Amino acid sequence: MLQVMFTQLNDNTIKKNERMDFVDAVKQSAILEQKYREDKKKVNGDFYLIEKESDGTALYTGTFIFGSHYAPNLYIHIKKKLEEIKMNKQQQRERIELIAKMEDGLPDIYKKEEVIENAHLLNLDVSRISKLKKWQRRSIYALTGLLGFAFVGTVFYMVMTIAQYDVAYNKERQTVAAQEKTLEIYEQGLLGNKNEMLDYFNENQKNLTDEEKKIYAGLLLEDKKFKEVVRLYNNDLGYIATMISNRGDINTLKEFHKDFPSKESSFDIFYTDKKYKELLALKDVDMTVKRSEMKTYALMKTGKLEEAKSELSNNNNDDLKGKLTEYEKLSKEIKELNEAIKIAKDSKKDKEVKALGKKKAEVEKKFNAL
């Protein structure tokens, strides 16, 4: 069982430096997040995640900013932060295990992510925003918000220093001007003018944040500029394939795979094309929660039920759990019907054979639809 300890939090609702069960911490964090959203305030809460029966070694440390709209509760906060980190295969497995532990006993209501399209929108006329793709709007809103907070911080610092240091004033004024220009570029992007954004990203490739890289890559992928994306991510084909797959753009993934094949793109394409045996034959694929779900389903469809149940522990997908239960039930029914049909045939009971055959067809239809 997991526990949480808050070490810094200016709110008496949660006691500092005391262990609390993870589920209780998630519930309390959801209440506090809603409270500070309504009050339009932000409060930092430093915390760390530990095993109940342990020496206190942290599995995860972080800061939950209550009222920031980043996450509705502590579980979603940690999950989102983990998914933002680029990981190797071992770290991917550890991440899946940690998420599974967090979800153990956690009510489904706290597992649902929320989408707030314009939480950090800075003085934009939302009615003018063109119909950009969802991932574009969400990413640019987030970046605009972050730049806005940075802008406020810079102005505050500038006001504090101008009376003492003219040099500092001039330097900060230049920084503010640069941030204002960047904000203007993002605003234009929200309004549908992506050319200026592409130029900005291209000129500042070496200094882009991870989030900016994702937006830049997304824009390049829209134009099928695969070589530029590969260069942007230093030939990390598996990571790019995962990024495309997460956007649900299977056609772009197939086009990318033709010129830049990887095990990750093969895996996702095999799943889409229902080539489950080929998918399971692939080794050393970077596993995400989504791919773990794909693998669970592929194992089920190829009749490897016990392996599917084992893989299910890595993703805890309730829908897949239900399908596995139904698959096992229907498999048993089909086996029993086959035996009954054989007995009826041996006894030359034609009407019974026909009735059982009809029943078997109905069960097989449900079985194949899983």
Burial of 315 (0-12, 13-18, 19+ CB in 10 A): buried
pLDDT of residue 144: 55
CA proximity to 143, closest of 227, 245, 211: 211
pLDDT band at 123 (very low <50, low <70, confident <90, very high): very low
Phi-psi region for residue 234, left (φ > 0), alpha (ψ -120 to 50) or beta?
Answer: left
Taking the chain, what is the end-to-end CA distance rounded to the nearest angstrom? 33
335-345: average pLDDT = 91
216-244: average pLDDT = 92
Considering the domain architecture, whether residues 8 and 97 belong to the same structural domain is answered as: yes
Considering the domain architecture, whether residues 10 and 98 belong to the same structural domain is answered as: yes
207-216: average pLDDT = 82
Considering the domain architecture, whether residues 132 and 276 belong to the same structural domain is answered as: yes
209-235: average pLDDT = 89
**Distance from C-alpha of 245 to C-alpha of 224, rounded to nearest angstrom:** 15
CA proximity to 209, closest of 184, 190, 227, 186: 186
pLDDT band at 142 (very low <50, low <70, confident <90, very high): low
Q: Are 148 and 122 in contact (CB under 8 A)?
A: yes
DSSP 14: S
Q: Tell me the per-residue pLDDT of 28-41, one tens digit each, with 9 for 90 and over.
A: 999 999 999 888 89
The amino acid sitting at 303 is G
Q: Tell me the per-residue pLDDT of 65-108, one tens digit each, with 9 for 90 and over.
A: 999 888 999 999 999 888 888 777 778 788 888 888 898 889 98
| Helix (H) or strand (E) segment spanning residue 100 | helix 89-103
Q: Mean pLDDT: which of 66-75, 139-148, 189-198 is highest? A: 66-75
Percent of the chain having pLDDT more than 90?
46
Considering the domain architecture, whether residues 140 and 280 belong to the same structural domain is answered as: yes
Please say if the pLDDT value at position 120 is more than 70: no
Considering the domain architecture, whether residues 134 and 77 belong to the same structural domain is answered as: no
| Residue 118 domain-assigned (yes or no) | no
219-232: average pLDDT = 92
Quote the mean pLDDT of the chain. Answer: 81
| Residue 309 domain-assigned (yes or no) | no
pLDDT of residue 192: 56
**Distance from C-alpha of 49 to C-alpha of 96, rounded to nearest angstrom:** 15
| Residue 249 domain-assigned (yes or no) | yes
Backbone angles phi, psi at 199, to 5 degrees: -65, -45
Please say if the pLDDT value at position 111 is more than 60: yes
192-217: average pLDDT = 80
pLDDT of residue 131: 47
- Which of 110, 138, 173 terminates a domain? The answer is 110
pLDDT of residue 85: 81
pLDDT band at 162 (very low <50, low <70, confident <90, very high): very low
Considering the domain architecture, whether residues 173 and 279 belong to the same structural domain is answered as: yes
Name the pTM for this structure: 0.55
Domain residue limits at 87:
2-110
Considering the domain architecture, whether residues 72 and 138 belong to the same structural domain is answered as: no
Considering the domain architecture, whether residues 166 and 251 belong to the same structural domain is answered as: yes
Residues contacting 350, CB < 8 A, separation 6+: none
pLDDT of residue 139: 56
| Residue 278 domain-assigned (yes or no) | yes
pLDDT of residue 181: 53
- Which of 77, 110, 143 terminates a domain? The answer is 110
pLDDT of residue 5: 92
Counting the structural domains of the chain, the total is: 3
| Residue 227 domain-assigned (yes or no) | yes
Q: Mean pLDDT: which of 9-13, 75-79, 348-352 is highest? A: 75-79
pLDDT band at 185 (very low <50, low <70, confident <90, very high): low
| Residue 232 domain-assigned (yes or no) | yes
Q: Tell me the per-residue pLDDT of 296-307, one tens digit each, with 9 for 90 and over.
A: 999 999 999 999
Considering the domain architecture, whether residues 84 and 175 belong to the same structural domain is answered as: no
pLDDT band at 157 (very low <50, low <70, confident <90, very high): very low
Considering the domain architecture, whether residues 154 and 230 belong to the same structural domain is answered as: yes
Please say if the pLDDT value at position 295 is more than 80: yes
Helix (H, G, I), strand (E, B) or coil at 183: helix
Considering the domain architecture, whether residues 84 and 55 belong to the same structural domain is answered as: yes
pLDDT of residue 330: 94
Considering the domain architecture, whether residues 104 and 132 belong to the same structural domain is answered as: no
